[in-house]
A and B are shown apart, each in its own frame.
Chain A
Amino acid sequence: EPEVTQTPSHQVTQMGQEVILRCVPISNHLYFYWYRQILGQKVEFLVSFYNNEISEKSEIFDDQFSVERPDGSNFTLKIRSTKLEDSAMYFCASRGGNEQFFGPGTRLTVL
């Protein structure tokens, strides 16, 4: 069964460093999303992406964040200068029809 994959599963970084989180959506899906979940809190929408551009973004998704689909398979989230409060699980999702399919997440720890 096709699934969304994410790498790495865990990323540890120093405050101020750049990180790139990678996702491979389900191959025939056209809509892509990033969410984050701070430990013990709700899942928060960050950004949606379609046709090589951002469809919608939340107030969390400020200038420190960017997304890219560099080739036909990968979908990346870049955080330019990480802050302590960026520590969270980051989930990628893709959608073909009405349902979103989520990846297993990347745990980002900012020290």
Chain B
Amino acid sequence: SQQGEEDPQALSIQEGENATMNCSYKTSINNLQWYRQNSGRGLVHLILIRSNEREKHSGRLRVTLDTSKKSSSLLITASRAADTASYFCATALYNFNKFYFGSGTKLNVKP
């Protein structure tokens, strides 16, 4: 199975701290994407990293990709209460016909 798995499953931190979530997957990919989902809502695309990239930044987000270990991490710096959500990684195979989502990390940022 291609499915990604995130860890930890749940993370609780104080506002201002950094949050790191990890994702592992099983087969070769074209790219890996991170999404946020607020409770009961849709998925919001955060950032995409291609298989030939190692690190990418977007605002307070930093994503790394290690294709040799088949893993990625999402770092949210200086977290805010509004960052409270579930975070999912999704991997795309080379034909983009199918995307696999991980189980998600539920992040709680306490004010």
Residues of A within 8 A of B (CB): 31, 33, 35, 41-45, 48, 50, 55-56, 58, 89, 91, 93, 95, 98-105
Contact = CB atoms under 8 A, between A and B. Distances in A.
Contacts of B44: 102
Interface in B44-83: 44-45, 48, 50
B56 to A, nearest CB: 13
Nearest to B5: A42
Interface in B95-111: 95-104
B33 A42 contact: no
19 contacts: A41-B103, A42-B88, A43-B88, A43-B101, A45-B101, A50-B97, A55-B97, A56-B98, A89-B40, A95-B96, A98-B50, A98-B92, A98-B96, A100-B33, A101-B45, A102-B35, A102-B44, A103-B42, A105-B42
A102 B42 contact: yes
A45 B30 CA distance: 17
A45 B88 contact: no
B43 interface: yes
Contact of B103 (A42, A48, A91): A42
A103 B97 CA distance: 18
A54 to B, nearest CB: 9
A105 B96 CA distance: 21
B88 A104 contact: no
A35 B95 CA distance: 17
A77 B101 CA distance: 20
A44 B40 CA distance: 16
B101 A44 contact: yes
